[in-house]
Amino acid sequence: MTGQEANGIIAAILLALGVAAPVPEFTGGMLLALGAAYAVRAFRGAETRKGIVLSLFAGAFFALLAAGLHEATAGVWLWGQLSIQAQMAVSGGLSQSLAEGFVAFGGGLKDWLAKLPGGFGKGADR
């Protein structure tokens, strides 16, 4: 397999994921995002290897989302003026906070649903 074939396969996978960016730009952005996620985790104090792996996974996930939404957010205030690498790096750095926010929102939503008259959130507690 030549370098061009490998590049074509990677580009096809990225297109299947909704990312319309050149492979070198995406790769650079992903490396920056993973580095930012690791740096934020290091400053917060990574206690376990599992915590580091989860932080890197969240960084890669949110960086992939940012890459997929790059063209759709082109006209959005300051965010749209950033390059794809910068958007991916920022989303990787914020990934741990975003994941914690989603977990907190999910817990609050479950509590709110449990207080409704039908008790929608009590499915596992009955």
In this predicted structure, what is the pLDDT of residue 66? 95
In this predicted structure, what is the pLDDT of residue 122? 60
In this predicted structure, what is the pLDDT of residue 24? 92
In this predicted structure, what is the pLDDT of residue 119? 63
Domain range for 33: 3-122
In this predicted structure, what is the pLDDT of residue 3? 80
Question: Which parts of the chain sit beneath pLDDT 50?
Answer: 126
In this predicted structure, what is the pLDDT of residue 70? 92
| Number of domains comprising the chain | 1
In this predicted structure, what is the pLDDT of residue 49? 83
In this predicted structure, what is the pLDDT of residue 121? 55
Query: Is the CA virtual torsion 7, 71, 95, 114 positive or negative?
Result: negative
Residues in CB range of 104: below 8 A, 6 or more apart: none
Cα 32 → chain centroid = 13
In this predicted structure, what is the pLDDT of residue 117? 82
